[in-house]
């Protein structure tokens, strides 16, 4: 929703507080007298002595004002009104007119904006009540935020995202970037996300991890390398994870394990060994302190082969 269009509206609270006259002056009652004749009460102008059975405050002013307002309110103009009283009556009627025009203008803008909102989103009227305190733009910001909250929640529900994904830094950064991009922003299509943007992210993470490993290496820290099989979207894979003390583990990559699994479900120790050897060579053997795998016979065999090749390595097969 574009809130800019509402920001130029003068808040109702400011308009209603504008008053150049006291209540007594606006009433103009002192210019009239009440008369009681034949048990009938009427009101009489003190200047021209014309009388009426009743006269509201606007008509009291109109009678004492000028030709324009006396015609507008269809009341006879006073012929003996003092100039000062006439000017005050005219000024107060102009103020009244301005107030009405401003209120009409604001009300029509509020109505049109409410109509726009309620057509795109079902929101209760009480949430947009224009009589509540605060400026109109503030109210629309609150309204837009309420809708945004519901849309975020709906996305989480309908796409089956975990609730705590909303607590992640990535989620926070996404919401912030979208709001800063402005109302014209549209999200990329899934093909862009799974293609170009995924490739960009992969390269960026790979570079960050390489810099991290380089820094740890310069500090003389050695990594513990572990590996296991996993299946992602029905694709059998072998993962390689490196871990430094008191640091989060980082992925060194995946190997396609299709052939490994196809050989009668029995893994080949040599294939496991070759995979690990390739990764150790990539990061540099001196940066690897230990290799930890599970204690399946094929894994233990691969570890033995590694220990022969790299004599400094601590190799462990754990349950
Ligand atoms: Zn009069």
Distance 75 CA to ligand 1 centre (A): 10
- CA 36 to ligand 1 centroid distance, Å: 18
Task: Supply the pLDDT for residue 280.
Answer: 94
Q: 223-232 and 32-37 as β-strands: parallel, antiparallel, unpaired? A: unpaired
95 Cα to the center of ligand 1, angstroms: 22
Predicted local confidence at residue 10, as pLDDT: 39
Torsion sign across C-alpha atoms 49, 51, 54, 60 = negative
pLDDT of 27 reads 66
163 and 156 Cβ atoms separated by less than 8 Å? yes
Could you tell me the maximum CA-CA distance found in the chain, to the nearest angstrom? 128
Phi, psi angle pair for 246, to nearest 5°: 60, 25
pLDDT at 196: 95
Q: What pLDDT was estimated at residue 197?
A: 95
* Cα–Cα distance, 99 to 94 (Å, whole number): 9
pLDDT value of residue 107: 58
Domains, the chain, in order of start with CATH, read 4-116 (no CATH), 128-181 (no CATH), 215-318 (3.30.420)
What pLDDT score was predicted for residue 222? 92
How far does residue 92's CA lie from ligand 1's centre (Å)?
A: 17
Report how far ligand 1's centroid is from the alpha carbon of 35 (Å).
15
CA of 82 to the centre of ligand 1 (A): 10
Taking only Cα atoms into account, the Rg of the chain, rounded to an integer number of angstroms, comes to 41
Ion ligand 1 neighbours (CB, 5 A) are 45, 47-48, 78
> What separation in Å is there between the alpha carbon of 20 and the centre of ligand 1?
24
Q: What pLDDT was estimated at residue 13?
A: 37
Q: Which of 230, 223, 233 is nearest to 294 (CA)?
A: 230
> Do the Cβ atoms of 143 and 15 come closer than 8 Å?
no
Q: What's the rounded Cα separation, in Å, for the pair 210 and 189?
A: 30
Provide the pLDDT for residue 234: 80
DSSP 8-state assignment for residue 241: E
What residue ranges of the chain have pLDDT lower than 50?
1-24, 114-123, 125, 128
Q: Whole-angstrom Cα distance, residue 250 to residue 247? A: 9
pTM of the model: 0.47
CA 49–ligand 1 middle distance (angstroms): 6
Q: Could you tell me the two tokens for 210?
A: 């390489």
Residue showing tokens 């935020």: 145
Cα distance between residue 318 and residue 294, in whole Å: 5
- Residues 292/276, Cβ–Cβ less than 8 Å: no
For ligand 1, the distance from its centroid to the CA atom of residue 100, given in whole angstroms, is 26
What spacing in Å lies between the alpha carbon of 79 and ligand 1's midpoint?
6
């Amino acid at each position: 929703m574009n809130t800019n269009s509402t920001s130029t509206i003068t808040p109702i609270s400011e308009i209603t507080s504008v008053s150049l006259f006291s209540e007594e002056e606006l009433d103009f009652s002192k210019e009239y007298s009440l008369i009681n004749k034949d048990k009938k009460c009427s009101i009489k102008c003190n200047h021209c002595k014309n009388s009426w059975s009743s006269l509201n405050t606007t008509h009291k002013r109109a009678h004492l004002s000028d030709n324009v307002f006396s015609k507008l309110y269809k009341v006879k103009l006073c012929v003996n009104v003092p100039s000062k009283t006439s000017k005050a009556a005219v000024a107060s009627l102009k103020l009244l007119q301005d107030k009405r025009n401003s209120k009409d203008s604001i009300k029509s803008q509020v109505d049109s904006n409410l109509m726009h909102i309620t057509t795109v989103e079902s929101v209760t009227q009480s949430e947009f009540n224009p009589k509540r305190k605060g400026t109109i733009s503030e109210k629309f910001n609150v309204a837009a935020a309420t809708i945004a909250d519901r849309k975020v929640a709906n996305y989480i529900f309908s796409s089956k995202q975990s609730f705590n994904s909303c607590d992640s830094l990535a989620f926070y950064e996404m919401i912030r970037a979208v709001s800063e991009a402005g109302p014209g922003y549209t999200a990329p299509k899934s093909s862009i996300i799974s293609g170009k943007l995924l490739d960009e992210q992969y390269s960026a993470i790979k570079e960050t991890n390489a810099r991290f490993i380089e820094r740890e290496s310069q500090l003389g820290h050695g990594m513990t390398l572990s590996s296991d099989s996993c299946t992602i979207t029905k694709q059998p894979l072998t993962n390689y994870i490196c871990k430094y003390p008191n640091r989060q583990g980082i992925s060194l990559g995946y190997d396609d394990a299709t052939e490994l699994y196809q050989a009668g479900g029995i893994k080949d120790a040599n294939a496991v060994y070759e995979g690990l050897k390739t990764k150790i060579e990539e990061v540099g053997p001196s940066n690897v302190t230990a290799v930890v795998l599970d204690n399946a016979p094929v894994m233990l065999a691969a570890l033995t082969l590694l220990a022969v090749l790299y004599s400094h390595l601590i190799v462990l097969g754990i349950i």
